[in-house]
Amino acid sequence: MEWLWNLLIFLAIGALIGYVAAILTGNKKDGLIRNIIIGILGSLVGGIIGKLIPVGDANALSLWGILLSVVGSIIVIVVGRFVTKRR
């Protein structure tokens, strides 16, 4: 059951971080909902990175978890920009 709470907290923090990452990268024009989705995807990407690279305790409320969520969100934003520019 702990994994479910970690997932819910990770997604909530990811939504907030997606909004902040969008502001930091100048991606404010896409809208709040899209930025929240980017943050959630980035949070999941950060979680995958945390599982692949043993960086210690990378749960949703740890410093590593938050940093990995920010990094994942920025990766999602950069990849999204690359994909949309190629169309």
**Tens-place pLDDT, residues 44-73:** 888 888 888 876 665 556 788 778 878 888
Domain ranges of the chain: 2-86
Res 28: pLDDT? 67
Res 59: pLDDT? 59
Res 42: pLDDT? 83
Q: Which residues of 61-76 are buried (b: 16+ CB within 10 A; e: fewer)?
A: eeebbbbbbbbbbbbb
Q: pTM of the prediction?
A: 0.68
d(CA 85, CA 73): 18
